[in-house]
Amino acid sequence: MLTSLIFLAGCFALLALALWAAFPLPSLDGRRASTALAGQDTRIAAAIAPVAARHPGTSGIYLLPDALDAFAARVEMIRTAERSVDLQYYIWNNDLSGRILLSELVRAADRGVRVRLLIDDNTTAGLDPMLAGANAHPGIEVRLFNPLTLRRVRAANYLFAFPRLNRRMHNKSLTIDGAVTIVGGRNVGDEYFGAEQDGLFIDMDALAIGAVLPDVSAQFDRYWNSRSAYPAELLIAADRAKPMAILRDPPESNSTRGQQYREAIAATAFIRDAMAQTLNWQWTEVRLFSDDPAKALGAEPPESLLINRLKPVIAGAEGSFDLVSGYFVPAGSGTELLTGLARRGVDTLVVTNSFAVTDVPLVHAGYVKKRQPLLEAGVQLFEVRPGAGGRSEDPSHSATRFSGGGESLHAKTFVVDRRLLFVGSFNFDPRSAELNCEMGFLIDSPYLSGLVADGLRERLPEHSYAVALSPEGELQWGDTGGGRRGVLTTEPGTTAGNRTAVWLLSHLPIDWLL
């Protein structure tokens, strides 16, 4: 038996070595470096300049919690651009919203705008024709971050390059003319811009101008010119490209969502109001937190990791700490941080997904074993429940989503002392902390922090289960949704099989992967 296992392990190692040799990363010799284009001579930059001059050293922030607003703002920004559009995303789906945004990029490039599109290659299955087509435009350059070299049998890449491919670029930003940017939690896909939204802070983006813009552009340049960013033409054959005419004018959709997108685009006026100097920016100090792209190669020093620079901010909370994280796996150090806050009297509140709405049950397994110590220390714990018209609470009607959307929480934000607000891509889990590259804004604004904290607490009773311990120390879920007022002693949305599977997964040593 042992001999057979050794033989199989040897065969696997030889196969991995053969694949590694057969499908190496292409050489980056000859790749052109480029940097952000300043936009002082563009209309948007000229409109913003006098407003920014009245608020020297600060940034203007406008929050975008609404999904349709967030989509329409992106379209409006791309349509306004005159010199450059720089985008980096973890996911760009080939669905309605993805095709609309890509068509806007092609049209921007048609009018002479330089477009740089950096996409993490982990989730691009089936997108090679679209990406190659866009890259064929003389005004668009597409780069793939940490790419898979074997394009057609993608899963095989993990047999010979797992340590590298396990690290991804999770950053999300869009910047035009070096003057306006959107940073936050949304990828590009219909599930992130869902027209039907009655959930609880499903996601959050921040529109920004002012002093933080050069930092955002410099951050993009670091990733764009990093050792992990590969020109698309080195990996995707040009003959696979989708025709430019289809990218420029994607087939129209008569779906309800398509109509809602069109109406939202027609009605939105964020950039028009910014150019008219009438948008209600909140001017304050904003710091960009970002991992170095070397993290994707396992080469970022621990002291520069985003999490290690955020920890002192969180640990410094004196009165309250509100955390919203769709993927919440606090592990050892995170649990110690949160329980430490609660034990010294900080009002500590955490909101994450319930099993009934999570799209990643494996992540839920990493979270469940931390509920007891968090609650015992005094952390207030809430789990988002299915919304009206959304997923059924009956476990026999369960469904899954790839990432966010509907009533599944995807936001990554926290508030410290009703003064500091973080909006970005960082999940409170080991993957974001140790493996993936992340970014986000830390916004020093009592006004915006108060809006988020108050809105969160006002909507929690209707949209979430309040998790607590019974007098006997058993978990229970308070349910006040839909006018109900009751207590559940079995985890909502689960079956005995679900609970057994989650319990077994929670005992595996896989937290570092979650």
> What is the b/e burial string over 456-470, where b = at least 16 CB atoms within 10 angstroms of the residue's CB?
beeebeebbbbbeee
The predicted-structure confidence for 330-343, as pLDDT tens digits, reads as follows 988 999 999 999 99
Whole-number pLDDT of residue 18? 73
* Lowest pLDDT segment from 18-22, 171-175, 328-332: 18-22
Whole-number pLDDT of residue 40? 73
State whether 240 and 305 are in the same domain: no
Q: Enter the DSSP assignment of 432.
A: I
The stretch 226-254 carries a mean pLDDT of 88
Most confident of 2-6, 94-98, 414-418: 414-418
Whole-number pLDDT of residue 348? 98
Residue 31 inside a domain? The answer is no
Catalytic residue set: 170, 172, 177, 410, 412, 417
- Distance, CA of 102 to CA of 124 (rounded, Å): 14
pLDDT band at 118 (very low <50, low <70, confident <90, very high): very high
Whole-number pLDDT of residue 324? 95
pLDDT band at 85 (very low <50, low <70, confident <90, very high): very high
State whether 66 and 136 are in the same domain: yes
State whether 266 and 328 are in the same domain: no
State whether 238 and 354 are in the same domain: no
pLDDT band at 486 (very low <50, low <70, confident <90, very high): confident
pLDDT beyond 90 at 269: no
Residue 7 inside a domain? The answer is no
- Distance, CA of 124 to CA of 114 (rounded, Å): 23
pLDDT beyond 50 at 400: no
Tally the domains of the chain.
Answer: 2
DSSP, collapsed to helix, strand or coil, labels residue 139 as coil
- Distance, CA of 473 to CA of 496 (rounded, Å): 21
Q: Enter the DSSP assignment of 187.
A: -
Residue 11 inside a domain? The answer is no
CATH of the domain at 173: 3.30.870.10
Q: Are 86 and 217 in contact (CB under 8 A)?
A: yes
Residue 229: strand pairing partners:
145
Domain hosting residue 66, numbered range: 53-275
Q: Are 448 and 421 in contact (CB under 8 A)?
A: yes
- Distance, CA of 268 to CA of 282 (rounded, Å): 19
Residue 221 inside a domain? The answer is yes
Residue 9 inside a domain? The answer is no
Whole-number pLDDT of residue 219? 98
Whole-number pLDDT of residue 397? 31
Q: What is the pTM of this model?
A: 0.92
Residue 30 inside a domain? The answer is no
Nearest to 229, CA basis, from 138, 294, 122, 147: 147
The predicted-structure confidence for 188-215, as pLDDT tens digits, reads as follows 998 888 744 444 347 999 999 999 999 9
State whether 270 and 328 are in the same domain: no
Q: Where are the alpha helices (DSSP H) in 119-242?
A: 128-135, 157-165, 213-224
Most confident of 11-25, 44-58, 198-212, 500-514: 44-58
State whether 87 and 228 are in the same domain: yes
Q: Are 505 and 365 in contact (CB under 8 A)?
A: yes
Residue 97 inside a domain? The answer is yes
Q: Are 281 and 61 in contact (CB under 8 A)?
A: yes
State whether 61 and 209 are in the same domain: yes
Domain boundary, last residue among 206, 241, 275: 275
The stretch 402-427 carries a mean pLDDT of 82
State whether 263 and 312 are in the same domain: no
Residue 496 inside a domain? The answer is yes
State whether 248 and 313 are in the same domain: no
Q: Dihedral sign, CA of 486, 490, 491, 494?
A: negative
Whole-number pLDDT of residue 404? 36
pLDDT beyond 50 at 401: no
Nearest to 241, CA basis, from 102, 108, 87: 102
The stretch 357-369 carries a mean pLDDT of 87
Q: Dihedral sign, CA of 246, 248, 254, 256?
A: positive
Q: State the helix-helix crossing angle for 256-267 and 96-110, rounded to 10 degrees.
A: 40
State whether 261 and 325 are in the same domain: no
SS3 content of the chain, % helix, strand, coil (to 5): 40, 20, 40
**Chain position carrying tokens 């990828």:** 187
Whole-number pLDDT of residue 12? 63
State whether 473 and 354 are in the same domain: yes
State whether 269 and 317 are in the same domain: no
